[in-house]
Amino acid sequence: MPIFEYICKSCEHHFEAIVTRSGEAECPSCNSKRLEKQLSVFAAATKGGAPDLMPGACGTCGDPRGPGSCQMN
């Protein structure tokens, strides 16, 4: 299940919520449903503990110039 970040438009509370397909997020402070979804970045942990923002082989990042163009190697 995805975790989303929100700001409540009623009380300005910043929070994260797990939302299922049938559910709707609600502010844990004031129970308002007037929320603004925020953009967030994900990272996956590796064995070394550092975030791995681009897992996988070159060409998986979606660079329109094709495999090897992103210089992530």
Q: Mind listing the pLDDT tens digit for each residue in 15-67?
A: 998 888 777 889 999 999 999 998 876 666 666 655 555 444 455 566 666 66
Can you tell me the distance from the alpha carbon of 37 to that of 7, in angstroms, rounded to the nearest whole number? Answer: 7
Q: Which is higher by pLDDT, 4 or 35? A: 35
Rounded CA-CA distance 24/52 in Å is 30
- C-alpha distances (whole Å) from 5 to each of 20, 31, 32, 55, 62 are 14, 15, 15, 23, 25
Whether the Cβ atoms of residue 33 and residue 21 lie closer than 8 Å to each other: no
Whether 3 shows a pLDDT value over 70: the answer reads yes
User: Is-above-0.75 flag for pTM?
Assistant: no
Tokens of 15: 């929070």
* Mean pLDDT, the chain, whole residue set: 74
Q: Residue 1: which pLDDT band, with cuts at 50, 70 and 90? A: low
